[in-house]
Amino acid sequence: MSTDIRTYGNYINGEWTISASGKQSASLNPANRNEVVGYLTMSEQSDVDRAVEAAVAAKKAWRKLSGAARGEYLYKAAAILERRIDEVAAMMTREMGKTLPEAKGETARGVAILKYYAGEGMRKIGDIIPSTDSEALMFTTRVPLGVVGVISPWNFPVAIPIWKMAPALIYGNTVVWKPALDTGVTAALIMECLAEAGFPAGVVNLVSGSGSVVGGRIAEHPAVDGVTFTGSNAVGKQIGQTALARGAKYQLEMGGKNPIIVAADADIDLAVDATISGGIRSTGQKCTATSRVIVEKAVYETFRDRLLAKVRGLKVGDGLQPDTWLGPCANENQWKTVLDYIEKGKAEGAELLYGGHQPEDPACQDGYYVVPAVFDKVDSKMAIAQEEIFGPVLALIQAEDLEHAIELANDVEFGLSASIYTQNIGHILAFIQDVDAGLVRINAETAGVELQAPFGGMKSSSSHSREQGQAAIEFFTAVKTVFVKA
């Protein structure tokens, strides 16, 4: 592997610096825990404070620029990231384990998001509303929040921070970004692209360090006007409460427990492929991953047997190898959580049909690997059917009929994505109406997001806000209603 093991610092006020703490943390390759991919500076609260100060100082000039002028920086960043796509993708694979084609796809997505929001700088930011006073002009306009704190997870280490930072910036905010430590090197490469694009000093800052110290300080800092977070429910709730208590705006995207319904009239082979792709790609570590597979009684056994046959054929391995279908879990914690849930599922009485253990392949002994697991005879109330596992684990649940299937689909605290396979228009319409999910997918897998459309969940999956597409303007700006009379 690469011998060039660098130390990555903070990017504050246009300069790369190392925290005065002098502490570092090694970022490891989950496919081989003995491989260090880079060292990350471990910041203190004072580093966050300096970054926020820089962002505050930069905000006046940044918001004064036209949207088109701000867009030019995003176009430049897109071109630079596009040029470095192979390097960024390879680092992502080494740092968090997803396969190289997936990492490339995600990085290309990052480029597309930057371009999309660059264009957004020239689109409308308000409406004219007829006043009851016929001589007055009444309209809305939008202004930036000011300083936005971005706290992002490791599972989409390029796409998620970009889909937060690009809209924050285009609408005139300045940014302090705290990426997950597990993907801190990948984050530093993204920051390098933004730095090379030449944003004025202080407009985008990166502070590397632990969640509780750096993320915690961002959430509580009185000069941070908005906080956008993606990650676990436990942390999200805490950030939301901290932001609420000091009157800051916040946006939380959190967990999922996404169902796929396979109706009796479904094309079984397509439903099998969608279940595998949605549930096991990225090692099940997508917030939109399929984890509950709800199958109508009439086709249950046929579906189960075809699913099993295909899951048996999936190759677990290092994401850099071209024949790997799924890589390791991203870190030790995640790996242990997945293995614990497998034990829990067995203890609760579900039948483990396949997988759920470390692969025997000698090449897999130093990584956080799990053979994808398929559980049969799962009851909706079991922990493996209720709690987010974030791993390659499929829970098969039998439904009596379509109505029962939708009831089961809704029988969780989450509501991010939900999918159905059927040809019946009545079933489709009932599903669209009745399923509790922010993303409703018909004859398509639960995962799969388009950057130009709103993204977000219902119930405890989100703070009920939406990200991406033009929906992003709702969070990253404030509305002014203007009444003008001569």
> Residue 451's CB: how many other CB atoms inside 10 A?
20
Residue 150: closest CA among 176, 187, 126, 128: 176
Phi, psi of 331 (to 5 degrees): -155, 175
Q: Which of residues 175-204 bind ligand NAP (CB under 6 A)?
A: 178, 180-182
Identify residues 394-433 at the interface with ligand NAP (CB under 6 A).
416
Residues in the chain, overall count: 486
Q: Which stretch binds ligand NAP (CB under 6 A): 19-27, 41-49, 55-63, 211-219?
A: 211-219
The reply on whether position 469 binds ligand NAP by CB under 6 A is no
Closest to 207 measured CA to CA, from 387, 390, 11: 11
Report d(CA 187, CA 92) in Å as an integer. Answer: 9
Is 131 a binding residue for ligand NAP by CB under 6 A? The answer is no
- By CB under 6 A, is residue 385 in contact with ligand NAP? no
Q: Is 121 helix (H, G, I), strand (E, B) or coil?
A: coil
The answer to whether residues 73 and 197 touch, using CB atoms and an 8 Å cutoff, is yes
219 counts as binding ligand NAP under rule CB under 6 A:
yes
Instruction: Show the beta-strand stretches assigned E in 321-384.
Output: 351-354, 373-376
Residue 253 to residue 232: CA distance in whole angstroms: 8
Q: How far is 155 from 463, CA to CA, in rounded Å?
A: 20
Task: For Mg ion, give the closer residue by CB, 28 or 103.
Answer: 28
Quick one: what does residue 151 bind among ligand NAP, Mg ion, none, with the CB cut-off 5 to 8 Å set by partner type? ligand NAP
> Would you call 364 a catalytic residue per the annotation?
no
Which of 97, 121, 215, 317 binds ligand NAP (CB under 6 A)? It is 215
Q: How many CB atoms lie within 10 A of CB 391?
A: 27
Clarify whether 287 is annotated catalytic: yes
What are the phi and psi torsion angles at 172 (to 5°)? Answer: 100, 10
> How many binding residues for ligand NAP (CB under 6 A)?
30
390 near ligand NAP (CB under 6 A): yes
Phi then psi for 54, rounded to 5 degrees?
Answer: -65, -40
Distances in Å between the Cα of 275 and the Cα atoms of 168, 399, 404 are 34, 16, 19
What residues line the site for Mg ion (CB under 5 A)?
Answer: 28, 95, 182
Q: Is 355 helix (H, G, I), strand (E, B) or coil?
A: coil
Q: How far apart are CA 420 and CA 405, in angstroms?
A: 10
With CB cut-offs between 5 and 8 Å by kind, which of ligand NAP, Mg ion, none does residue 167 bind? none
- The nearer residue to ligand NAP, 47 or 253, going by C-beta atoms, is 253
Q: Which of 148, 159, 165, 287: binder of ligand NAP (CB under 6 A)?
A: 287
17 interacts with, out of ligand NAP, Mg ion, none, CB within 5 to 8 A per kind: none
Which of 239, 364, 374, 435 is the binder for ligand NAP (CB under 6 A)? 239
Minimum CB separation of residue 455 from ligand NAP in Å reads 7
Judged by beta carbon, residue 1 or residue 432, the one nearer Mg ion is 1
Residue 232 interaction partner, one of ligand NAP, Mg ion, none, beta carbon < 5-8 Å per kind = ligand NAP
Residue from 24, 238, 386, 424 touching ligand NAP (CB under 6 A): that is: 238
Q: Which of 19, 29, 93, 152 binds ligand NAP (CB under 6 A)?
A: 152
Q: Copy the structure tokens of residue 37.
A: 């991919």
386 binds ligand NAP (CB under 6 A): no
Alpha helices in 198-331 (DSSP H): 216-220, 233-245, 268-280, 300-312
Can you tell me whether residue 460 is helix, strand or coil? coil
Among 10, 99, 107, 230, binds ligand NAP (CB under 6 A): 230
Contacts of 381 (CB under 8 A, 6+ apart): none
Paired sense of beta strands 393-399 and 373-376, if any: parallel
Catalytic residue among 95, 102, 253, 388: 253
Which of 120, 220, 287, 388 does the annotation list as catalytic? 287
Residue 318 in the binding site for ligand NAP (CB under 6 A): no
Say how far apart CA 66 and CA 233 lie, in whole Å.
37
28 or 408, CB closer to Mg ion?
A: 28
Per partner kind, with CB cut-offs from 5 to 8 A, the member of Mg ion, ligand NAP, none near residue 380 is none
The residues that touch ligand NAP, with contacts defined as CB under 6 A, are 151-155, 178, 180-182, 210-212, 215-216, 219, 230-232, 235, 238-239, 253-256, 287, 388, 390, 416, 461
Catalytic annotation, residues? 253, 287
